[in-house]
Amino acid sequence: MSDTKNIRNIAIIAHVDHGKTTLVDSIFQKTGAFRDNQQVNVRVLDSNPQERERGITIFSKNAAAVYKEHKINIVDTPGHADFGGEVERILQMVDGVLLLVDAFEGPMPQTKFVLRKALELHLKPIVVINKIDRPQSDPVKVHDQVLDLFIALGAEEHQLDFPYIFTSAKNGIAKYSMDDEDGDMSLLLDIIIKEIPAPVAEDDGGFQMLVTTLDYSDYIGKIAIGRIHRGKVSPGSQLVVVSPDGIVGKGTVTKVFQFDKVQKIEAKEATSGDIIAIAGIPDATVGLTLASVDDPVSLESFEISKPTLSMLFSVNDSPFAGLEGKEVTSRKIRERLMKEKMTNVALNVEETDSADTFRVSGRGELHLSVLIETMRREGYELAIARPEVIMHYDEQGTMLEPIEHVTIDIPEEYTGVIIEKMGRRKAEMIHMGTLRGGMVRVEFEIPTRGLIGYNLEFTTDTKGEGIMSHVFINYQPFKGKLPSRETGALVVSETGICVAYSLSALEDRGTFFVSPNTKVYAGMIVGESTRGLDITMNVCKTKKLSNMRSSGTDESLRLTPPKILSLEQALEFINDDELLEVTPLSIRLRKKLLDPNARARATKKANA
């Protein structure tokens, strides 16, 4: 056994929007990964269109940079708690982590969650205090908060003596102390080479690799990604898939890829310590070991966190079904969900009693809404039911529900309304403190159910100035019934086209989600009622014209602009008796029962 001296494997971990992907950009610029005249996107690793639009990392990415004859394998991990399943697995591939912390916000829930996992695995941490150029930032205070966090998480003595550096990834600045002159990213790269241990090389025994992530290509099939624990591999190698219970599959390696900058490049051979991708093993699954046929020994695996939220995906059966999408059948939807399940291991797909409906479970609303958005962009039409929390039962038969740790940063004047709203949702306040610039940080423990549908309300209550983040902590006994949506829906009574004349006359009934000339059908929801009851209305009624009275004689109508809901906002809005209709061109809200008489009978029956 020896050290692979010229390889360093690191993961970049941080809370959402603390600058992980921007830091990778700066590292690539410093290592000369791009030509001087090359056109490079900002946040080069965020290759998925949704990642660019949302400004967050959704899928973990592998990349590599070469600096001072060392190959640095970098794994960029998602910062949002809904994609925490990715981070937990990635830590198995690396020998150290860059813990990135915002110089203004300090350590946030996801930072604590991921750091705890890294410390448990005895990984070497390097603390990067980023965004030192941000107004009102206090990098030195944040460094002290990070040290407190290490102590609170029970870090060992040698882990408390962590190396740290202050950076502005956006400007490519790095320095060891705030009193130093501005340096560049070579200071950070030097720390990585010096502090992160090299992987242990063990090339003599049979091949072993723990599958940490999966990718898929329509041309070469399933691609298994992981770090070689022992041995060598090359195209043509015979490998077996080993679980703790024995061999579960086998195959021949068709291609071996190594990472170079942001691309995969084919390699003739790969040796222990390197992070690689292997094609040709169809039975490869996350958490299982790929091993040589002569020595099929399983490596210690890891537990994948279970989903906390589920939704029913069903075939779109509205009057407008099939008008906008290409893939509308249950067979096509099932194929697509099963393909997603192969690579997205934190996702679970189950068939239900109905052939047209599938139960899809994930780590949170965002996790599932990213899948829905991807499918609609691929031409699928779906009907989605309201998200439901997945309950568990302990040995005594007590019902347990998932609990989240919520951190809220708000201007001081909104503190009262937020504490009151969270209290109604069965939240318990566990900490409250002041930040710079008149901001207050409040921390709660709240049932996951209490967060469904709250984002929209939170944005309104704080006039868009509040920041809310949450991370799953554990299961606790069921907290009791929570209040549902306090307002009713504005429901269309007949199929047709919305008319400005009707919308103008009905504006006092509530807030509309549609504009004039929108096609609607009976049972479709076009707005939010001001009362707690649903109101059925005709939005297609036109003005009766005659010889004495023409349409031009009236003053032109002034309508309040409609409130256009995003996919996440629509998922938060719907109640148990409503569905979300998703097509490539439209997002519509509707009642499950389109006929008003059937709805009235169902309501009567429920009340009885």
- What mean pLDDT is predicted for residues 215-230? 84
pLDDT of 81 reads 54
Whether the per-residue pLDDT at 582 is higher than 60: the answer is: yes
Residue 386 belongs to some domain of the structure: no
pLDDT of 549 reads 55
Whether the per-residue pLDDT at 520 is higher than 50: the answer is: yes
Q: How many CB atoms lie within 10 A of CB 79?
A: 26
Among 477, 510, 535, which residue terminates a domain? 477
Whether the per-residue pLDDT at 450 is higher than 70: the answer is: yes
Is residue 19 located within the same domain as residue 139? Answer: yes
Token readout for 296 is 């099929």
Is residue 183 located within the same domain as residue 280? Answer: no
Domain containing 253 equals 208-292
> What is the DSSP secondary-structure string of 511-543?
EES--TT-EE-TTEEEEEESSSS-EEE-S-PPP
Token readout for 528 is 């939010």
- What mean pLDDT is predicted for residues 337-351? 83
pLDDT per residue over 397-426, tens digit each? 888 888 888 888 888 888 888 899 888 888
pLDDT of 35 reads 43
pLDDT of 1 reads 39
Percent of the chain scored above 90 by pLDDT? 7
Is residue 159 located within the same domain as residue 217? Answer: no
Q: Which residues pair with 97 in a beta bridge?
A: 11, 125
Q: Higher pLDDT residue, 174 or 316? A: 316
pLDDT of 564 reads 87
pLDDT of 85 reads 57
- What mean pLDDT is predicted for residues 466-483? 82
Q: How confident is the model at residue 588 (pLDDT cuts 50, 70, 90)?
A: very high
Is residue 44 located within the same domain as residue 174? Answer: yes
pLDDT of 313 reads 92
pLDDT of 359 reads 92
- What mean pLDDT is predicted for residues 33-51? 47
Q: Which of the given ranges, 13-27, 176-190, 522-536, has the highest pLDDT on average? A: 522-536
C-alpha neighbours within 13 Å on the C-beta side of residue 178: 13
pTM for this prediction: 0.78
Whether the per-residue pLDDT at 110 is higher than 80: the answer is: no
Give the separation between CA 276 and CA 297, rounded to whole angstroms.
Answer: 19
Distances in whole angstroms, Cα of residue 104 to Cα of each of 55, 61, 151, 287, 415: 19, 26, 21, 37, 20
Domain containing residue 429: CATH number:
3.30.70.240
3-state helix, strand, coil in the chain (%, to 5): 25, 35, 40
Q: How confident is the model at residue 598 (pLDDT cuts 50, 70, 90)?
A: confident
Q: Collapsing DSSP states into helix, strand and coil, what is residue 89?
A: helix
Token readout for 159 is 């882990």
Residue 356 belongs to some domain of the structure: no
Q: Structural domain tally of the chain?
A: 3
Is residue 133 located within the same domain as residue 94? Answer: yes
Is residue 109 located within the same domain as residue 215? Answer: no
Q: Which residues pair with 173 in a beta bridge?
A: 168
Residue 368 belongs to some domain of the structure: no
Is residue 147 located within the same domain as residue 273? Answer: no
Token readout for 602 is 């169902």
Q: How confident is the model at residue 315 (pLDDT cuts 50, 70, 90)?
A: very high
pLDDT per residue over 230-278, tens digit each? 888 888 888 888 887 778 788 888 988 888 777 788 888 888 888 888 8
Token readout for 516 is 């004039």
pLDDT of 553 reads 45
User: In this structure, is the dihedral angle defined by the CA atoms of residues 534, 535, 536 and 542, taken in order, positive or negative?
Assistant: negative
- What mean pLDDT is predicted for residues 351-375? 87
Among 429, 457, 477, which residue terminates a domain? 477
Is residue 156 located within the same domain as residue 276? Answer: no
pLDDT per residue over 69-81, tens digit each? 888 888 876 655 5
Q: How confident is the model at residue 172 (pLDDT cuts 50, 70, 90)?
A: confident
Whether the per-residue pLDDT at 149 is higher than 50: the answer is: yes
Whether the per-residue pLDDT at 40 is higher than 50: the answer is: no
pLDDT of 37 reads 41
- Residues 72/292, Cβ–Cβ less than 8 Å: no
pLDDT of 53 reads 52
pLDDT per residue over 492-508, tens digit each? 988 999 888 888 888 88
Q: Which residues are annotated as a binding site?
A: 17-22, 130-133
- Residues 104/130, Cβ–Cβ less than 8 Å: no
Give the separation between CA 27 and CA 186, rounded to whole angstroms.
Answer: 8
Whether the per-residue pLDDT at 84 is higher than 80: the answer is: no
Residue 310 belongs to some domain of the structure: no
Residue 139 belongs to some domain of the structure: yes
Whether the per-residue pLDDT at 57 is higher than 80: the answer is: no
User: Which residue reads 């072993």 in tokens?
Assistant: 208
pLDDT of 13 reads 80
- Residues 240/293, Cβ–Cβ less than 8 Å: yes
- Residues 598/607, Cβ–Cβ less than 8 Å: no
Q: Higher pLDDT residue, 95 or 28? A: 95
Who's near 63: CB < 8 A, 6+ residues apart?
A: 24, 28, 45, 73, 74, 75, 76, 259, 261, 262
User: Which residue reads 């030195």 in tokens?
Assistant: 140
Q: How confident is the model at residue 2 (pLDDT cuts 50, 70, 90)?
A: very low
Is residue 214 located within the same domain as residue 178? Answer: no
Q: Higher pLDDT residue, 521 or 46? A: 521
pLDDT per residue over 535-565, tens digit each? 888 988 887 766 555 555 445 667 888 888 8
Residue 16 belongs to some domain of the structure: yes
Is residue 216 located within the same domain as residue 187? Answer: no
Residue 602 belongs to some domain of the structure: no
Is residue 72 located within the same domain as residue 157? Answer: yes
**Amino acid identity, position 26:** S
Q: How confident is the model at residue 46 (pLDDT cuts 50, 70, 90)?
A: very low
pLDDT of 525 reads 92
**Least confident window among 82-91, 248-257, 479-488:** 82-91
- What mean pLDDT is predicted for residues 42-69? 60
Is residue 166 located within the same domain as residue 134? Answer: yes
Give the separation between CA 337 and CA 422, rounded to whole angstroms.
Answer: 35
**Amino acid identity, position 288:** L
Residue 542 belongs to some domain of the structure: no
pLDDT of 590 reads 92
Domain containing residue 26: CATH number:
3.40.50.300
Mean model confidence pLDDT for the chain: 81
Whether the per-residue pLDDT at 51 is higher than 60: the answer is: no
pLDDT of 58 reads 55
E-assigned strand segments in 78-207? 96-102, 124-130, 164-168, 173-175, 200-201
Length of the chain: 608
> What is the DSSP secondary-structure string of 448-509?
HHHHTTHHHHHHHHTTT--EEEEEEEEEEE--------SS-EEEESS-EE--HHHHHHTGGG
Token readout for 165 is 């550096």
Token readout for 532 is 């707690």
Torsion of CA 49, 52, 53, 55, to 10 degrees: 150
- Residues 92/212, Cβ–Cβ less than 8 Å: yes
On the 0-12 / 13-18 / 19+ scale of CB atoms within 10 A, 339 is exposed
Q: Which residues are annotated as a binding site for GTP?
A: 17-22, 130-133
Measured in whole angstroms, the distance separating CA 571 from the mean position of its chain's CA atoms is: 15
**Least confident window among 29-38, 85-94, 250-259, 446-455:** 29-38
Q: Supply φ then ψ for residue 507, to 5 degrees.
A: -60, -30
Give the separation between CA 407 and CA 205, rounded to whole angstroms.
Answer: 48
Q: How confident is the model at residue 59 (pLDDT cuts 50, 70, 90)?
A: low
pLDDT of 548 reads 55
Which DSSP letter does residue 593 get?
S
Whether the per-residue pLDDT at 38 is higher than 50: the answer is: no
pLDDT of 220 reads 84
Give the separation between CA 106 and CA 142, rounded to whole angstroms.
Answer: 5
Whether the per-residue pLDDT at 41 is higher than 60: the answer is: no
pLDDT of 331 reads 92
Among 292, 321, 340, which residue terminates a domain? 292
pLDDT of 608 reads 72
Which DSSP letter does residue 38 get?
-
